[in-house]
Amino acid sequence: MAFATLKLKSKNGAVKEAPVGFSWTVFFLSFWVPLTRGDWMWALIMLVAIFITFGFAGILFAFIYNRLYLEGLLKQGYTIKSYSGDKRSIESSAQIKLSSSSRQVQDSSSSDAKFESAYSETTTSRSNSPKASSSNDFTDELEELQELYEDGTLSMEQFKKAKKKLLT
């Protein structure tokens, strides 16, 4: 079972999620998974391999397809923006190194907890900054809030509330 999810963003702003680990969807739906993700090359390879091996290749692809999909997205220029799950497990299973710029998203069902942690990060960075560069820090904080809203960490209501607190 996919034990973690990576959220990736392309240079043109497209956002995709890539699961990490065993894929039950590939196990049961085989080549239809890469087909629906727009991964035509792997859909064709899986279809041919499954046809030649009378379906047994589907078992193998259930173990490796998520990593192949992630590698393909990284080669296309996508960058990891956030992840959910254990960092060490993700790095070992996907055979990648998560940078410090990618954020971990808590699995908490409470969106208020996400909001509070995001808001406390922005207010902490604001209070620790010198007054001379406060306008740059202010715009950086607004951009950070916008990014949190765009990647789904903050809802529209939470974004507006944080923006209002930041502006006052």
Residue 108 has pLDDT above 60, yes or no: no
CA distance 150 to 58: 35
pLDDT at residue 137, rounded to an integer: 74
Residue 168 has pLDDT above 90, yes or no: no
Considering the domain architecture, whether residues 53 and 124 belong to the same structural domain is answered as no
pLDDT (average), residues 114-126: 50
Considering the domain architecture, whether residues 59 and 126 belong to the same structural domain is answered as no
pLDDT (average), residues 71-81: 93
Considering the domain architecture, whether residues 88 and 19 belong to the same structural domain is answered as yes
Considering the domain architecture, whether residues 115 and 97 belong to the same structural domain is answered as no
Q: Which residue has the higher pLDDT, 48 or 145?
A: 48
Given 83, 104, 125, the domain boundary residue is 104
CA distance 30 to 64: 12
Considering the domain architecture, whether residues 125 and 94 belong to the same structural domain is answered as no
pLDDT (average), residues 103-122: 52
Considering the domain architecture, whether residues 11 and 62 belong to the same structural domain is answered as yes
> Which of the residue ranges 18-22, 30-34, 150-154 would you say has the lowest mean pLDDT?
150-154
Considering the domain architecture, whether residues 152 and 93 belong to the same structural domain is answered as no
> Which of the residue ranges 17-26, 110-119, 143-152 would you say has the lowest mean pLDDT?
110-119
Considering the domain architecture, whether residues 13 and 80 belong to the same structural domain is answered as yes
CB 76 within 8 A of CB 14: no
Residue 153: give the domain boundaries: 111-167
Considering the domain architecture, whether residues 126 and 88 belong to the same structural domain is answered as no
The one-letter amino acid code at 83 reads Y
pLDDT at residue 142, rounded to an integer: 80
Considering the domain architecture, whether residues 116 and 97 belong to the same structural domain is answered as no
pTM over 0.75: no
Considering the domain architecture, whether residues 38 and 90 belong to the same structural domain is answered as yes
Considering the domain architecture, whether residues 93 and 134 belong to the same structural domain is answered as no
CA distance 68 to 40: 13
Given 87, 104, 121, the domain boundary residue is 104
Q: Which residue has the higher pLDDT, 71 or 139?
A: 71
pLDDT (average), residues 72-81: 92
Number of domains in the chain: 2
